[in-house]
């Protein structure tokens, strides 16, 4: 009997847990689920004798070692900051590990020891990172296998709202960790464009967007992720002219978010003085310099400070959040980012029946037999409701499939692994198609003057 330990039972784990339970009888699995609260799993525990749920404190060393010691594979859906702690315990107790998060330096440093012990620490196997790697490597290897030389690679992913649930002016609601959204993009974005290295500092990141059209779903704006250059070598694209990975949002979002960045509202590096007694209006005013406009309504003061008209769309979106209202923040020792998060969690909450949407887009340009070509590969996945979300599906299913492959002995790579190999991307993508997660590809023959011909796949 194979024993699987799933750490983390939040919304993003819902589809993963369903997948594990559906397969538990077939493959003789026992599934244990631990999190800070598991009362919402009571019905599933009653219905599934293969499932055990328990309250879990990852920082309780004795409990962590006991529960990980019982398992053969640990799947961590905990916040990323806890992954090194879980990974070290897996290493000590010689257990496999699967996560959807990026490889942090602490876990990367465990590679040699994990490899020597015959362990697989499979990281970056969710949506982004995850399905983006799987699908990108399939395309890259296909093109290279046909004699093509890739000159440009762009990849963007966004967790958004399905058209029927897109009912606020930001065209956005939280389907993932809100804190990650608030802090997204901080640092400096690094990428390569037409042979030159490019850098975008965080204060201007959301001004530098690129617009894409996804057939049937309209336009999206993409902004650069923090590090695109780190994937040149793993993707085998060291000599490429353009390498850019990024995030998709609906038009208008990035321009409005840039206002919040400019004001300082996404800063998480310090605590506000007397934050529990501040209103959101007070908070915004605290970032404005003294000026002759201080007698004006707050929205007009902000407009004057930013040197934009009060009527522009981005200020309309900021006003909609309630940031100009005299509503108490009511948080002790809050950072600006924490105050903003509390407000937006209320405004961007998924309502009963809401459906989300995942959009992923790859654009590859390459040369083959003297011709210039472009391959566009797009994925759109719609959620079923506010629990069975597209986000939960696209994060959870790759993790579940990878865990099955690992327990079946079909994954040969040992050590700290990212899913870039055919023995990972081929079976995972094939099974994902059974769940409707399928890419649409379009080939174009191009020239310096534009598109010559198109082929839809």
DSSP 300-350: HHHHHHHTS-TTSHHHHHHHHHTTTS--B---TT--HHHHHHHHHHHHTPP
> Is residue 244 domain-shared with residue 282, that is, in the same domain?
no
Within this chain, do residues 136 and 119 fall inside the same structural domain, yes or no?
no
Banded pLDDT at 436 (limits 50, 70, 90):
very high
CA distance 386 to 353: 6
Whether residues 86 and 112 fall in one domain: yes
Q: Contact at 8 Å (CB) between 362 and 376?
A: yes
Residues 22 and 117 in one domain: yes
Residue 425 inside a domain? The answer is no
Residues 29/404, Cβ–Cβ less than 8 Å = no
Name the region of 216 (left: φ>0; alpha: ψ -120 to 50; beta: rest): left
Summarize the confidence of residues 66-86 as an average pLDDT.
96
Torsion-angle region of residue 8: left (phi > 0), alpha (psi -120 to 50) or beta?
left
Answer yes or no: is pLDDT of 457 > 80.
no
Q: Is the peptide bond before 129 cis (omega within 30 degrees of 0)?
A: yes
The whole domain housing 275 covers 271-334
Residue 303 lies in a domain: yes
Residues, the chain, total? 457
The predicted structure's pLDDT at residue 292: 83
Mean pLDDT confidence for 370-393: 94
pLDDT at 237: 97
Residue 216 and residue 245 in one domain: yes
Residue 147 lies in a domain: yes
Backbone angles phi, psi at 302, to 5 degrees: -65, -40
Same domain as 381, residue 234: yes
Same domain, residue pair 228 and 358:
yes
Residue 116 shares a structural domain with residue 139: no
Q: Which pLDDT score, from 0 to 100, does residue 286 have? A: 96
Q: Average pLDDT for residues 385-413, to the nearest whole number? A: 94
Tokens 């920082």, residue located:
59
- Flag whether pLDDT at 451 surpasses 70: no
| Closest to 87 measured CA to CA, from 129, 56, 123, 60 | 123
Both 167 and 241 in one domain: the answer is yes
Exposure on the CB side of residue 9, measured as CA atoms within 13 A: 25
> Is 153 contained in some domain?
yes
190 with 281: CB under 8 angstroms? no
Nearest one of 73, 180, 166, 77 to 121, comparing CA atoms: 73
Helix (H) or strand (E) holding 397: helix 390-407
Distance, in Å, from the CA atom of 256 to the CA atom of 288, rounded to the nearest integer, reads 17
Q: Are residues 161 and 211 in the same domain?
A: yes
Residue keyed to tokens 């979300």: 389
Q: Within a domain: residue 288?
A: yes
Q: Residue 411: inside a domain, yes or no?
A: no
Mean pLDDT in residue range 32-54? 94
**pLDDT at residue 367 is higher than 50:** yes
Coil, strand or helix at 56: coil
Nearest to 389, CA basis, from 3, 8, 11:
11
Rounded to the nearest integer, the mean pLDDT of the chain is: 95
Per cent of the chain over pLDDT 70 is 98
Residue 437: strand, helix, or coil: coil
Instruction: Assess if residue 249 is contained within a domain.
Output: yes
| CATH number for position 11 | 3.40.50.720
pTM of the model: 0.92
- Token pair for 162: 């399905």
Per-residue pLDDT tens digits for 308-329 = 999 999 999 999 999 999 999 9
Confidence class for position 293, pLDDT limits 50, 70, 90: confident
Domain boundary among 79, 107, 123: 123
Confidence of residue 85 (pLDDT cuts 50, 70, 90): very high
Give the tens place of pLDDT for each residue, 320-357. 999 999 999 999 999 999 999 999 999 999 999 999 99
Q: Can you tell me the mean pLDDT for 168-197? A: 94
Average of pLDDT values for 439-451? 76
Task: Note the pLDDT tens digit of each residue in 185-236.
Answer: 999 999 999 999 999 999 999 999 999 999 999 999 999 999 999 999 999 9
Supply the pLDDT for residue 449.
Answer: 46
% of the chain exceeding 90 in pLDDT: 92
How many structural domains comprise the chain?
Answer: 3
Nearest to 381 by CA among 373, 392, 367: 392
When pLDDT is cut at 50, 70 and 90, the band that residue 419 belongs to is very high
Has residue 402 been placed in a domain? no
> Does residue 385 sit in the same domain as residue 240?
yes
Residues 151 and 231 in one domain: yes
pLDDT interval class at 444 (50, 70, 90): confident
CATH number of the domain where residue 223 is located: 3.30.360.10
């Amino acid at each position: 009997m194979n024993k699987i330990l799933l750490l983390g039972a939040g919304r993003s784990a819902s589809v993963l847990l369903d997948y594990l339970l559906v397969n538990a009888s077939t493959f003789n699995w026992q599934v244990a689920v631990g999190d800070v609260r598991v009362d919402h799993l009571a019905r599933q525990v009653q219905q599934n004798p293969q499932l055990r749920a328990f309250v879990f404190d990852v920082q309780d060393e004795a409990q962590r070692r006991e529960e990980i010691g019982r398992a053969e594979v640990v799947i961590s859906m905990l916040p990323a900051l806890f992954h090194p702690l879980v990974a070290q315990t897996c290493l000590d107790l010689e257990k496999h590990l699967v996560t959807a998060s990026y490889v942090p330096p602490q876990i990367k440093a465990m590679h040699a020891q994990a490899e020597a012990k015959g362990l697989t620490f499979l990281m970056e196997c969710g949506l982004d990172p995850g399905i983006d790697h799987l699908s990108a490597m399939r395309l890259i290897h296909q093109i290279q296998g046909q004699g093509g030389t890739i000159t440009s690679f762009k990849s963007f992913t966004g967790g958004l709202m399905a058209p029927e649930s897109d009912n606020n002016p930001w065209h956005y609601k939280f389907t993932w960790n809100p804190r990650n959204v608030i802090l997204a993009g901080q640092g400096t974005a690094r990428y390569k464009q037409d042979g030159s290295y490019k850098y975008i500092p965080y204060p201007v990141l959301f001004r530098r967007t690129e617009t894409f059209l996804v057939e049937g779903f309209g336009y999206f704006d993409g902004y650069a992720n923090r590090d695109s250059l780190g994937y040149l070598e793993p993707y085998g694209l060291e000599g490429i002219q353009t390498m850019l990975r990024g995030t998709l949002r609906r038009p208008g979002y990035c321009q409005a978010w840039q206002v919040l960045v400019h004001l300082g509202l996404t800063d998480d590096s310090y605590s506000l003085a007397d934050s529990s007694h501040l209103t959101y209006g007070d908070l915004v005013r605290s970032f404005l310099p003294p000026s002759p406009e201080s007698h004006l309504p707050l929205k007009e003061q902000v407009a004057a400070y930013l040197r934009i008209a009060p009527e522009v769309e981005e200020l309309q979106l900021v006003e909609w959040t309630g940031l100009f209202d005299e509503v108490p923040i009511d948080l002790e020792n809050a950072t600006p980012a924490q105050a903003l998060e509390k407000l937006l969690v209320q405004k961007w909450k998924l309502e009963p029946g809401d459906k989300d949407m995942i959009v992923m887009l790859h654009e590859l340009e390459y040369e083959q037999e003297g011709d210039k070509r472009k391959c566009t590969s797009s994925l759109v996945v719609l959620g079923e409701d506010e629990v069975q979300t597209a986000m939960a599906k696209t994060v959870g299913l790759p993790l579940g499939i990878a865990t099955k492959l690992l327990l079946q002995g079909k994954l040969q790579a040992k050590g700290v692994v990212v899913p870039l190999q055919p023995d990972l991307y081929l079976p995972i993508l094939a099974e994902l198609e059974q769940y409707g997660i399928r890419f649409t590809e379009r080939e174009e023959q191009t020239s310096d003057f534009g598109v010559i011909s198109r082929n839809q796949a």
